[in-house]
A and B are shown apart, each in its own frame.
Chain A
Amino acid sequence: MDKDTETRLIFIAPSSDLTPDRIARFVHNLGNEVTAKETCYGVVLQGPREAVLRTLTEVRKMDPNRIFSKIRAFPAGDIRRCRAHHGSRPGFAQLEKEWKDLCLVESGLVCLERGEVPPEPKRRGKLPVKELKKLIDEVPQ
């Protein structure tokens, strides 16, 4: 693969009204030299780096705080990863977790947009020993 070619994942936050299909159609209509592949979480873009970044900038405008992106190591449709070829997705657990958290990140971005300074959140405490003992006692012997 050419060094200049870039593969990018575009994620739609769960709170967005956009669909992967709509983004894929939008990318095709842009007419940039970019391949778009629909996925369950969004779209995979592949093409010359500059064209991919240009496309990403346009796609982001559709819903700036709910569209996220990162690059991908494997090319789109690579048989080692593509589900159509029974490829494995070892990193999917992480993608799934982070995809679920995107609506939380979105609230942070909205907060920044409004210029608000968020209050310091409560520190996460550890489980007290008493609580742990109570839990142990609850388990039937």
Chain B
Amino acid sequence: MKIFMMPPNSLILYDLIERFGHEPLSLMKALRDRVTSNEIEAPPLNVTLDDVKLGLKYAGIEVPSGIRGRLAVYGPLIEQAEAAIFMEDAPYSFGCVGCQRTNELAKLLVRKRKVPILSLEYPSNEEEAKDMVYKVKQFLEGLK
């Protein structure tokens, strides 16, 4: 099954989802096509003007263009998602306020799709980590 994850570029979640036999929907894969496209002479590092327009499908015009641009990348992933795993309580160094607001909107869009969701927190000690890995496994096995 295709699993959406939050943060969408998380190493831990990507690895665990793949390890337990599912397909992670990651930001890296979505961006890969953009940064390696031969059709664009100078592949963009960030989103393009078209992306910002595409983002209107997922957020209103009053939402800042940075968030709409990000949602243009996240949106198609959310539409494909058959389940989702959220890891909350990430350190502030994971991104700017724009990233945080995008993540909040993305989580709302996933919740609206009514797919099974597992919400976790970044582990801070061994006990929490054991519990996190166990819950991820139980959740993913339950989806099969």
Contact = CB atoms under 8 A, between A and B. Distances in A.
A104 B131 CA distance: 11
B131 A121 contact: yes
A9 to B, nearest CB: 8
Nearest to A93: B93
Contacts of A116: 130
B48 interface: no
Given A94-B93, A97-B91, A121-B131, A71 B28 contact: yes
Interface in A58-94: 68-75, 78, 80, 91, 93-94
Interface in B112-131: 121-131
B94 A71 contact: no
| Interface residue SS majority, chain A | mixed
Contact of A118 (B29, B93, B130): B130
A109 B9 CA distance: 21
Contacts of B32: 7, 71-74
Contact of B36 (A75, A104, A108): A75
B26, B27, B36, B38, most chain A CB atoms within 10 A: B36
B12 interface: yes
A95 interface: yes
A21 B29 CA distance: 27
Given A71-B32, A73-B32, A94-B93, A120 B11 contact: no
A1, A70, A74, most chain B CB atoms within 10 A: A70
A73 B133 contact: no
Contacts of B90: 94, 97
Interface residues of B, number: 40
B133 A71 contact: no
Contact of A111 (B16, B18, B121, B130): B130
A13 B128 CA distance: 18
Interface of A: 1, 7, 9, 11, 68-75, 78, 80, 91, 93-95, 97-99, 101-102, 104-105, 107-109, 111-112, 116-122, 124
26 contacts: A11-B11, A68-B12, A69-B14, A69-B18, A71-B14, A73-B28, A73-B29, A93-B93, A94-B7, A94-B9, A94-B93, A94-B95, A95-B11, A101-B12, A105-B15, A105-B16, A105-B133, A107-B129, A109-B133, A112-B137, A118-B130, A118-B131, A118-B134, A121-B125, A121-B127, A121-B131
Interface of B: 7, 9-12, 14-16, 18, 26-29, 31-32, 34-36, 38, 45, 90-91, 93-95, 121-134, 137
